């Protein structure tokens, strides 16, 4: 599936794209990507609500008047760092967002998950370190931080404090699968800690 | 979508309109609005289960025998205060209702949300103050409080202690989007506080 | 809707009828009721998976070989006590079951809900006292307790310690509406207490 | 239903098969079983994404190139121990996984559930002891532990520390029903303990 509208509807149905939040993209070629447009509910968007953007500058290619997602610079930073990255999912799932906010509060720039089987879904076997980025109202600063900090051997997921989570992979399905695993990891973290 | 039945079914499916609770409306013109009827499950209502009411008095216009929602006066108060308000959603989502009840218990008349990205969905950038109203068994008193307290620069959402939440906007979709953001904010509040 | 299969599927989809648990019924006339059969998943039962039973003795009428739900005696006790009762829903929703188990642990035979707006859905205005029954492996003892304790002025809902919840009303929809309100009340109770 | 794809989609829709995790199987005859293939999302797999394996060695029968689930050895161990076992469900439901992780942390090799009505769905009347297995990155070790420890009178469910849960039964529906009951038991355990 490279259909951004169908995948957006799926993620919206899980409650991970509330209001008009959340955005997804697929790489079209070495220089461009297709990203969801700004300001639309992901539960009812159509294939018209997408914008072609340049990977180098996060700006629209051509001029059909639609604005790309305000968070496009996070997507393009990932396409720049990871040559094999074919798709990006940025969402606000509740447990990952809470874990990100808690990490930011204690000043952590990484969240460590050890021993849970589901970390295999993030390409790890025993332990995975998910980077936590500072949230900025001005999103391009987040994108710049991502491009500056991540190296090609990073795990395919990141958290943004008090904001949400981003995952990526060769395909849109793999990026979604990783978001599912990250959200479950964070849900388990909160469930387990609260009962310890 | 100005279809009250379709939107009601959507909100019911999320578990935000339990029993026959919850009601939504759209403005028809400067003087009247269409509101869901009283006493029907929002999961199976049809377009017949709606009543035209006067914005000035919250009373049915004409006489087809259907009673408007008991909470119509909250809707009409909002149409009076906000000339651009085109639709109102009143629901009982679990996290917003719990936050409203907790605020009421400690006597707070406002709930403050700072720093979470999703507050952008309520038109804020860094901080939003959501008013908390006292619950009254006699609903017109809530409507009167709303009309007396809110000013046109208020954020598009309010909480009612031990009762629920109300959001509004130019369209039914925007009012729903804001309810989604408010419920997520409250969910995050409870998740984060419990683990701090 | 008097369609037991459709209503069962709806309640199953909410996660309130796990395994083969949960059962619903409608009154057919003064002497008989139709109840879901024993041992079937409520997510895939058909109208064939129902049994006609006598209200006086909770036994099958006729002999098509199907066994009625093991909890039929709770249903028939309610039809005996409440002449206007037209339908009964017995389910295991998570929050109501947890509240019932916590009440049973502290030896309470009633659970009190005060002030939450959603109690209106149980016919109350300010306060509702939901009776809590002791669970017995032998279900007819629960039915006998219900018949012995409840009077026609009781609210339309009861909890069974470490077991689940039962609601009733003139129609299957009203019994379902009340289960929704009871589960939300219990959910709010747990959310609010945990954060107080 | 012996349709692995339809049952997988059902379990995925509940959020119990995140990423490509989770796997299910049905016994074909005394020597072989059909198991879901490795590395596919259970939300979109088709009947093509299944592999026939030997019960004695957990290896594919024939060579169509598809790899069976990495956890096939857990399934085949169960078919070996329980001659009447016709189907196995292995999943990562959040509450059962959290309970398994908490049990593993305190070094418990069994989780006891007493008195909750829903344990009837696991064939018990008053008490059920669910074995907890140690998680191993190398899954065949889990399968070997299962074959070594379980006896034919064991309840039809097990937990794997920091990993997930497995249930089984004569049919795929019964294995699913039991997973539903196990997950509800674990959910109630966490809800009740947190509020005690």
The mean pLDDT of B33-48, rounded to a whole number, is 95
CA dihedral D174, D176, D182, D184 (to 10 degrees): -120
Q: Which residues, including other chains, have CB under 8 Å from residue C148's CB and lie 6 or more apart?
A: none
Residues of D in contact with C98 (CB under 8 A): 188, 191-192, 195
Ramachandran region, residue C115 (left: φ > 0; alpha: ψ -120 to 50; beta: rest): left
* Most D-contacting residue of A96, A117, A171 (CB-CB within 10 A), to test interface: A117
B169, two tokens:
């906007």
Helices B94-105 and B172-194, interaxial angle, to 10°? 60
pLDDT of residue A2: 57
pLDDT higher than threshold 80 for residue D16: yes
Of A19, A101, A135, the CB nearest to B188: A101
Report residue A71's pLDDT band, with 50, 70 and 90 as the boundaries: very high
pLDDT digits (tens, 9 = 90+) for A113-153: 998 999 999 999 889 999 999 999 889 999 999 999 999 99
DSSP assignment of C9-25? HHHHHTTSS-TT--EEE
pLDDT of residue A11: 98
pLDDT digits (tens, 9 = 90+) for D153-182: 999 999 999 999 999 999 999 999 999 999
Collect the ranges in chain C with pLDDT lower than 70.
Answer: 1-2, 63, 196
Using the Cβ of A190 and the Cβ atoms of chain B, whether some distance falls under 8 Å is answered with yes
A136, two tokens:
């900025």
A164, two tokens:
């949400």
Containing H/E element for C139?
Answer: helix C139-149
pLDDT higher than threshold 70 for residue D73: yes
Distance CA B54, CA D44 (A): 50
Task: For residue C28, count other CB atoms closer than 10 A to its CB.
Answer: 15
> A167 near A175, Cβ under 8 Å?
yes
Report residue D123's pLDDT band, with 50, 70 and 90 as the boundaries: very high
Q: Which residues, including other chains, have CB under 8 Å from residue A121's CB and lie 6 or more apart?
A: A177, A178, A180, A181, D18, D19, D20, D21
pLDDT higher than threshold 80 for residue D63: no
Residues of B in contact with A97 (CB under 8 A): 116, 118, 188
**Percent of chain B whose predicted confidence (pLDDT) is above 90:** 90
Ramachandran region, residue A20 (left: φ > 0; alpha: ψ -120 to 50; beta: rest): alpha
pLDDT of residue B107: 96
pLDDT of residue D1: 43
DSSP assignment of chain A? ---HHHHHHHHHHTTSS-TT--EEEEE-SSSEEEEEBTT--TTT--TTSEEEEETTT-PBSS--SPPBPTTHHHHHHHHHH-TT--EEEEE--HHHHHHHHHHHHTT-SEEEEES-GGGGGGT-SSEEEEEEEPP-SSHHHHHHHHHHH--TTS-SEEEETTTEEEEEESSHHHHHHHHHHHHHHHHHHHHHHHT-
> B158 near B148, Cβ under 8 Å?
no
Chains linked to C by 3 or more Cβ pairs within 8 Å: B, D
pLDDT higher than threshold 60 for residue A38: yes
pLDDT of residue A65: 78
> C69 near C37, Cβ under 8 Å?
yes
Task: For residue D56, count other CB atoms closer than 10 A to its CB.
Answer: 11
D95, two tokens:
């509450």
Tell me the sheet residues that pair with D130: D111
Distance CA D70, CA C112 (A): 50
Q: Which residues, including other chains, have CB under 8 Å from residue A136's CB and lie 6 or more apart?
A: A142, A145
ipTM of the complex: 0.95
pLDDT of residue D194: 77
pLDDT higher than threshold 50 for residue A1: no
pTM metric for this prediction: 0.97
Distance CA B144, CA B136 (A): 11
Q: Do A188 and D97 touch (CB under 8 A)?
A: yes
Q: Which residues, including other chains, have CB under 8 Å from residue C72's CB and lie 6 or more apart?
A: C23, C25, C35, C53, C58
CB pairs under 8 A, 24+ apart, for A78-81?
A78/A146, A78/A150, A78/A166, A78/A168, A79/A27, A79/A33, A79/A55, A80/A55, A80/A56, A80/A147, A81/A146, A81/A147, A81/A150, A81/A151, A81/A152, A81/A154
Report residue A62's pLDDT band, with 50, 70 and 90 as the boundaries: confident
pLDDT of residue C1: 43
Q: Do C121 and B21 touch (CB under 8 A)?
A: yes
pLDDT digits (tens, 9 = 90+) for D28-48: 999 999 999 999 999 999 999
How many angstroms away from the CA of B102 is the closest CA of chain C? 7
Chains linked to B by 3 or more Cβ pairs within 8 Å: A, C
Fill in the DSSP letter of residue B61.
S
Distance CA A122, CA A169 (A): 10
Residues of A in contact with B192 (CB under 8 A): 98, 101-102, 105
Containing H/E element for C180?
Answer: helix C172-194
Of B116, B183, B191, the CB nearest to A162: B116
Backbone φ and ψ of C41, nearest 5° = -70, 130
User: Token match 């959020």: residue?
Assistant: D15
* CA distances from residue D75 to B152, C9, D22, D139, D147 in whole angstroms, order as listed: 63, 30, 12, 11, 10
Give chain D's mean pLDDT.
Answer: 94
Strands C157-160 and C127-133: parallel
pLDDT of residue B65: 78
Report residue A70's pLDDT band, with 50, 70 and 90 as the boundaries: confident
Report residue B4's pLDDT band, with 50, 70 and 90 as the boundaries: very high
Using the Cβ of D41 and the Cβ atoms of chain A, whether some distance falls under 8 Å is answered with yes
């Amino acid at each position: 599936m490279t259909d951004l509208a169908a995948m957006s509807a799926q993620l919206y149905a899980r409650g991970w794209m509330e209001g008009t939040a959340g955005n997804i993209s697929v790489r079209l070629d070495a220089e461009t990507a297709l990203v969801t447009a700004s300001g639309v509910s992901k539960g009812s968007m159509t294939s018209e609500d997408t914008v072609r953007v340049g990977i180098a500058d996060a700006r629209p290619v051509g001029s059909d008047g639609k604005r790309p997602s305000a968070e496009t610079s996070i997507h393009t930073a990932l396409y720049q760092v990871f040559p094999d990255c074919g798709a990006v999912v940025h969402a606000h799932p509740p447990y990952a967002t809470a874990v990100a906010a808690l990490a930011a509060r204690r000043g952590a720039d990484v969240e460590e998950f050890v021993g849970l089987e589901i970390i295999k879904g993030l390409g790890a076997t025993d332990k995975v370190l998910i980077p936590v980025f500072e949230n900025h109202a001005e999103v391009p600063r987040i994108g710049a931080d991502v491009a500056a900090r991540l190296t090609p051997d990073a795990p395919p997921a990141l958290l943004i404090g008090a904001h949400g989570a981003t995952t990526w992979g060769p395909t849109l399905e793999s990026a979604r699968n990783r978001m599912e695993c990250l959200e479950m990891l964070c849900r388990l973290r909160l469930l387990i800690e609260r009962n310890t």
